[in-house]
Amino acid sequence: MSGHFELISAPEGGYRFKLLGKTGELVAISVKFPTKRAAVEGIAMVREIAGTGLIRDLSSSRRSEPSHRIRASQPVPVHHASQRQRVPAGHNSLRELSQMRPSSSH
């Protein structure tokens, strides 16, 4: 099982959510939300940001460590414009298109 979110009632009223790692360790806890719906929307926002957000190092030690040591836990492949292929209209995938092209191994 991977990590998960837990929606909890805040003692002072409202709701918070916790982000827990796959072994149950606390990774993050949210700000207080006035409604359960707002907390769920906050979870959706965290999911989106976590998948696409950049790391901005604002720590006081940022100058003491080379920036190449700060990495996401699972690198995301980067596709450069030179690697992109266009799929003509009417084709569902690059695989389908490649099967239609004549083989260059003749």
- Give the pLDDT score at 20: 97
- Cα separation, 70 vs 100, in Å, equals 43
60 is a domain residue: no
CB neighbours of residue 32 within 10 Å: 13
**pTM of the full structure:** 0.55
CB of 32 within 8 A of CB of 7? no
- 38-67: pLDDT as tens digits: 999 999 999 999 888 898 899 887 565 555
Q: What is the CATH number of the domain that holds 16?
A: 3.30.160.160
Question: Could you give the number of structural domains in the chain?
Answer: 1
Range of the domain at 23: 4-52
